[in-house]
Chains A and B, each alone.
Chain A
């Protein structure tokens, strides 16, 4: 069991001034598993992601990624290095695409580091030497693979900002996958999706887990998604872990029912997502 560990979070604490957003949180995520993090709004879920991906430096604690080449301490790695060499990739709660660039370009930019090396930091690329041309071709192939996978092949040359909302979510996942991560962090990927899109998302995430062998960390409000596809659920409330186990066990945990499932009736969208939904993506 131990050598199946992908991510180890130990005693993670994050304070913003007097506010304790995450309080001594420890959990593990395994390889080839989908680990869901759930909890009410403001529980600190996104903050966990921001710590994992280097946007915040944790106040305390240790975050270890057990990648193929050995353990890496994420809290000591500069943010932009974390995604490199089979690292951690993520999506954002309010989608962050390169909206003025095309769908294909979004996926090529995600493969920046490998292409940069192949172009000898642009010197060889300037004269279109063979090695770079080959690397770019491979990058396009990889992008095509993911475009097929998320069903956006026909829109490859559209501006990403002109895609409908659901497609933008899927594109963001494809873009994260193009960095070749060993851990994929998804921040509320089903928010704002209709039931059909949500079902498609389940299939996609399962395929990322089973076919690509990538571990997923999933923040989700939609309990149907969580219960259906996650292998392991962690429940946060006010920055503390209140439950940790398989979906069945968590579902029946009284503390969870009190903190989270009890509030299920008012499953309001987070304000950012609601705002995004009202924006007509085509109008941009």
Chain B
């Protein structure tokens, strides 16, 4: 080994030192987090020690580090890839043991069919293969020509994407419109598509606040909750129909946005994020504790389902004086009708959000949002009122959150504060950030990745979350500014699309 290092900057003893250093770090970090566990025994809580986990953690760290040293010193590409893959498998093994899925020494997904499922075996092998292949192919020495080539490729992809945004959007819309015709009989497919669509809408709503106006809002779920409870309460207490409550829910949420925004929008960056996070929690705590109004933790149940625009009803037993949707169209009764109707409803709501956003971007208010994100001081020097501009972004974002909330309430028929935790805000924000701040199509992709995939691969149980996490880390590594992070100018003067991109890429 020392011979291998002889020609390079690092010698053998330095490598050993480095590895020992990382082993100690891994030991320190893992001993408390992984090494001890509290176990509930009849005699009381006891500490159990799990040395296997600590050992694996240290092993994974040392092997991984050695892989990185190989890489740094440009030693054997195959060696690099093997070491990195080994390290990844060790991390995997650690995870499996940590969740107490299996306690044999090799990751069950790789060699052992712990779940007896072909799927998990294939996923396991694919997982290892992908890591190995990426390690092998990305770790080759990058010459200047390679870098140039990949830059050229990425600008080509950019160009293709940019000059076809409209087409891509249109294809997407058509796909979502015909979706129920393809999966019309599949209840879970429609349900999943509806769920994804809710998050797309929330992502688009939050995108106004975070992506365009650059205001980091960690409490967006509050407006979602306000919309949901507005509809539930208005419909139960005043017997108002969904179609009347929908705009009201939006107005309520927007007012909450303004009430919250007024005092806090002076704050910037981190401070704003913390205050909005607090606001989101306050709303949830109020919902839990105001028992007389909201039913507290019990929530509100049997919320009225939407009718077919007040003309027909979707239930099997139609109330007196109303007609059923199937009668109206002379069809057999099917419980799918309501689901498909709900799907189209959220699709329309989401598309309205999208079109309003796209239009607002090209209006003075939208340009002022983006300008504010870029430089607030310059905005003030140009006569733009920062407070009002931020408030408008906050209120409009909140309004769409409110619409989505009302839809959520009518779809579920039951709401409780459980549905509006900080985790929801975090997921919506992750969708916006992963999609690429300000990118509408990016939000769609990210919502499918974040919401659709974990649901689709539910059968992979615990593994899906691991793969999901790895996927997010990968996106953040390869596209740190989000999947689609190009900004489309809101107005162009004299150049063709091509020259414009050339001007920007260089």
Residues of A within 8 A of B (CB): 53-55, 79-84, 87, 89-90, 92, 96-102, 104-105, 108-110, 112-113, 115-116, 119, 121-122, 125-126, 132, 140, 143-144, 147, 153-159, 162, 175-176, 179, 282
| Given the contacts A83-B383, A126-B363, A157-B492, A99 and B378 also touching, CB distance less than 8 Å | no
| A153/B356 contact (C-beta < 8 A), A98-B375, A102-B489, A125-B363 known | no
The answer to whether B364 touches A105, judged by C-beta atoms less than 8 angstroms apart, is: no
**Chain B: interface residue total (CB-CB under 8 A):** 37
Measured in the bound complex, the distance between the Cα atoms of B373 and A267 in whole Å is 35
Chain B residues whose CB sits within 8 angstroms of the CB of A108 once the complex forms: 364, 367, 491
CB distance from B274 to the nearest CB of A (A): 25
B37 within 8 A of A: no
Contact B490 A119 (CB under 8 A): no
CA of A54 to CA of B382, assembled, Å = 12
Compute how far the CA of A81 lies from the CA of B379 in the bound complex, rounded to whole angstroms: 11
The docked-state distance in angstroms from the alpha carbon of A162 to that of B506 is 8
Task: Determine whether the beta carbon of B495 is less than 8 Å from that of A156.
Answer: yes
Known A80-B386, A81-B383; contact A101-B364, beta-carbon cutoff 8 A: no
CB distance from A251 to the nearest CB of B (A): 32
Q: Is the beta-carbon distance between B503 and A116 smaller than 8 angstroms? A: no
In the assembled complex, the CB of A279 is this many whole angstroms from the nearest CB of chain B, namely: 16
Evaluate contact between B381 and A109: CB separation under 8 angstroms.
no
Q: Which listed residue (A101, A105, A154, A179) contacts B382, Cβ 8 A?
A: A179
Instruction: Tell me the smallest distance from the CB of B485 to a CB of chain A, in Å.
Output: 11
Distance in angstroms between the alpha carbons of A189 and B500 in the assembled complex: 28
CB nearest to B374 among chain A residues: A98
- Which residue from A81, A97, A113, A115 sits with its C-beta under 8 Å from B375? A97
Verify A80–B364 contact, CB threshold 8 A: no
| Residues in A neighbouring B379, C-beta threshold 8 A | 80, 109
- For the complex with contacts A97-B378, A105-B489, A132-B363, 19 further pairs of A-B residues with Cβ separation under 8 Å are A53-B381, A80-B386, A83-B381, A98-B374, A101-B370, A101-B487, A105-B367, A110-B382, A116-B368, A122-B363, A125-B359, A126-B363, A154-B494, A156-B494, A157-B499, A157-B500, A158-B504, A162-B504, A179-B382
In the complex, residue of chain B having the shortest beta-carbon distance to the beta carbon of A126: B359
Complex contacts, A90 vs chain B, CB 8 Å:
381
**A103 to chain B: closest residue by CB:** B493
Residues of A within 8 A of B489 (CB): 101-102, 104-105, 157
Q: Does B385 contact A (CB under 8 A)?
A: yes
Q: Flag if A157 contacts B383 (CB, 8 Å).
A: no
A101 cross-chain contacts in B, Cβ below 8 A: 367, 370-371, 374, 487, 489
A-B contact count (CB 8 A): 137
Q: Distance in Å from the Cβ of A135 to the closest Cβ of chain B?
A: 9
- Decide yes or no whether B348 CB sits under 8 A from chain A: no
A144–B392 CA distance with the chains assembled, in angstroms: 29
Kindly identify which residue among A89, A92, A125, A144 contacts B364, using a CB–CB cutoff of 8 Å.
A125
Contact mask for chain B residues 175-188; partner A; CB cutoff 8 A; 1 contact, 0 none: 00000000000000
Which of B368, B373, B494 has a CB less than 8 Å from the CB of A157? B494
Please name the residue on chain B nearest to A82 by beta carbon.
B383
The answer on a CB contact under 8 Å between B383 and A179 is: yes
Contact in complex: A116, B360 (CB < 8 Å): no
Q: Are A96 and B375 in contact (CB under 8 A)?
A: yes
User: Contact at A126–B504, with CB atoms within 8 Å?
Assistant: no
**B384 interface residue (CB < 8 Å to A):** yes
Interface string of B469-504 (1 = CB under 8 A from A): 000000000000000000101111111000110011
Which chain B residues border A84 with CB–CB below 8 Å?
A: 383
Q: Is the CB of B493 within 8 A of A116?
A: no
Instruction: Determine which of B382, B493, B494 lies in contact with A112 in the assembled complex, contact meaning CB atoms within 8 Å.
Output: B382
Interface residues of B in 350-396 (CB under 8 A from A): 356, 359-360, 363-365, 367-368, 370-371, 373-375, 377-386, 392
CB-CB under 8 A for A105 and B495, given A98-B371, A100-B370, A126-B359: no
A64 to chain B, nearest CB (A): 19
28 A-B residue contacts at CB 8 Å?
A53-B381, A79-B380, A80-B380, A87-B383, A90-B381, A92-B378, A97-B375, A98-B375, A98-B378, A99-B375, A100-B374, A101-B367, A102-B489, A104-B492, A105-B489, A105-B490, A110-B382, A122-B360, A125-B359, A154-B494, A157-B499, A157-B500, A157-B503, A158-B504, A162-B506, A175-B382, A176-B382, A179-B383
**In the complex, how many angstroms separate the beta carbon of B228 from the nearest chain A beta carbon?**
26
Contacts of A55 in B (CB 8 A): 377, 380
Q: How far is A161 from B360 in the complex, measured between Cα atoms in Å?
A: 24
> Max chain A CB contacts within 10 Å: which of B356, B363, B364?
B364
Taken together as a complex, chains A and B put the C-alpha atoms of A126 and B358 apart, in Å, by 10
In the complex with contacts A97-B375, A153-B494, A155-B503, A113-B383 CB distance below 8 A: yes
Bound form: Cα–Cα A99–B375 in Å:
9
Query: Which listed residue (A121, A144, A159) contacts B493, Cβ 8 A?
Result: A144
Distance to closest chain B CB from A178 (angstroms): 8
Interchain CA distance A105-B383 in the complex, whole Å: 16
Closest 10 pairs (CB-CB, A-B): A83-B383, A156-B493, A115-B364, A98-B374, A96-B378, A125-B363, A109-B371, A158-B503, A84-B383, A102-B489
